[in-house]
Amino acid sequence: MINVQGISKRYGSIKALNDLDFSINERSCFGLVGPNGAGKSTFMKILVGVIDRFDGDIQVFNQSVKKDQLAVKRCIGYVPQDICLEETLTANDNLTYFGRLYGLSGEHLRNRIRVVLEQIGLSERAHDKISKFSGGMKRRLNIGCAILHEPSVIVLDEPTVGIDPQSRHSIFSLISELKELGSTIIYSSHYMEEVEQICDSVGFIDKGKLVEHGTMKQVLDKHRNAAIFVAKDGMVTEELTAYGDVMQTDAGFFINCADPLSTMGIMIEHFRENGITPERLELSQTRLEDIFFQLTGLRLRDNG
């Protein structure tokens, strides 16, 4: 188990993290979500030892991030947001380099490289230079470099940004495989459907504070309520406020009200009388993305 105990981090007058307390079960996938600048990457950098000045502590399988930093680093594989590969080298050479940084050598290293290349689906491209790789291939190799030493904890910071659906599916399959092999995964993403699909538990960070956490079922059940979803070109929020609280998304409008089924009947009658034909009109159960907006708001965050 990973126990986060009162983690706080300040940059001058800005408090990036504010007294985080939660735990992550062994052999699970924990989703870490929040708006830009909420503190997700700061927390991950503390966990993996990139940031070493902070308040509080994290126990990783009974080892302190502060007191046993080297031991903790050895059991963690870290995949940062930015791709950390040498593009003039081949996939095999990049893996060799990172393997040696982890202390692997000889036949053991060669065997691990063969296994990892197969896991990330790049066996046939082992001797091609990274400069020839697509964005999805680079992302998969980036993960491969982090799992060479068979870490018990794998930290993935936005691993699917800008990649094709096939690479995304491959990464999801790899996460499931690693979890079955005994790894604990910490997964940060802005794609709520990804987190809901692959994570066992989730934590929401906003403005440095943990505003919600628990198993996926606990969080969804706590915030679950039926709503009405309606979509039509040209429709505006003001047309719908009479039916309940309206939240606009890229796809359409969610209307929260006390009796969604009866309210939908009233809406249907109104649309019929006024010759309005919506593209979609349906009852909708709360999704993780809805909870994200409830907890953090709709305002854009462009800092960090």
In a domain, 80, yes or no: yes
Whether 149 and 78 share a structural domain: yes
Please state the rounded mean pLDDT for residues 73-87: 93
Do residues 150 and 233 share a domain?
Answer: no
Does residue 19 lie in a domain region?
no
What's the pTM value of the predicted model, to 2 decimals? 0.82
Q: What is the CATH number of the domain that holds 229?
A: 3.30.70
Q: Is 298 contained in some domain?
A: no
In this prediction, residues 163-183 reach a mean pLDDT of: 92
197 lies in the same domain as 251: no
Residue 299 pLDDT: 55
Determine the average pLDDT of the residues in 94-101. 96
Residue type, 70: L
Flag whether 300 is in a domain.
no
Residues 190 and 208 reside in one and the same domain: yes
Residue 156 CA to residue 65 CA, distance in Å, equals 18
Number of domains the chain contains: 2
Same domain, 123 and 251: no
Which residues constitute the domain of residue 129?
A: 25-53+63-221
Asked if 195 and 178 touch (Cβ cutoff 8 Å), the reply is: no
pLDDT score at 65: 95
- How many beta carbons lie within 10 A of that of residue 294, not counting itself? 16
Q: Is the pLDDT of residue 181 over 50?
A: yes
Res. 301: pLDDT tops 60: no
Same domain, yes or no: 110 and 239: no
Which long-range contacts does 18-21 make (Cβ < 8 Å, 24+ apart)?
Answer: 18/207, 18/208, 18/209, 19/56, 19/209, 20/56, 20/205, 20/209, 20/210, 21/210
State the residue for tokens 């050598």.
105
Characterise 208 by phi-psi region: left (phi > 0), alpha (psi -120 to 50), beta (else).
left
Size of the chain in residues: 304
Has residue 298 got a pLDDT over 90?
no
**153 inside domain:** yes
Instruction: Judge if 94 and 175 occupy the same domain.
Output: yes
Residue 302 scores a pLDDT above 60: no
Give the pLDDT mean for 91-99: 97
Q: Which of 218, 227, 219, 83 lies closest to 143, judged by CA?
A: 83
- Mark which of 221, 240, 273 sits at the end of a domain: 221
Type of residue at 135: G
Of 190, 221, 252, which marks where a domain is finished? 221
Q: Is the pLDDT of residue 279 over 70?
A: yes
Report if residue 13 sits inside a domain: no
Per-residue pLDDT, 221: 87
Q: Whole-angstrom Cα distance, residue 156 to residue 160?
A: 9
Given a cut of 50, whether residue 304 has pLDDT beyond it is no
Residues 241 and 174 placed together within one structural domain of the fold: no
Q: Say which CATH number the domain at 44 has.
A: 3.40.50.300
Q: Percent of the chain scored above 90 by pLDDT?
A: 78
Asked whether residue 214 falls in the same domain as residue 267, the answer is no
Residues 178 and 196 in one domain: yes
The verdict on 105 and 164 lying in the same domain is yes
pLDDT value of residue 300? 45
Q: Confirm whether 292 is domain-assigned.
A: no
Same domain, 154 and 256: no
Look at residue 286 and tell me whether its pLDDT is greater than 80: no
- pLDDT, tens digit, 9 for 90 and up, residues 235-253: 999 999 999 999 888 889 9
Q: Which residues pair with 283 in a beta bridge?
A: 228
- Overall average pLDDT of the 163-186 stretch: 93
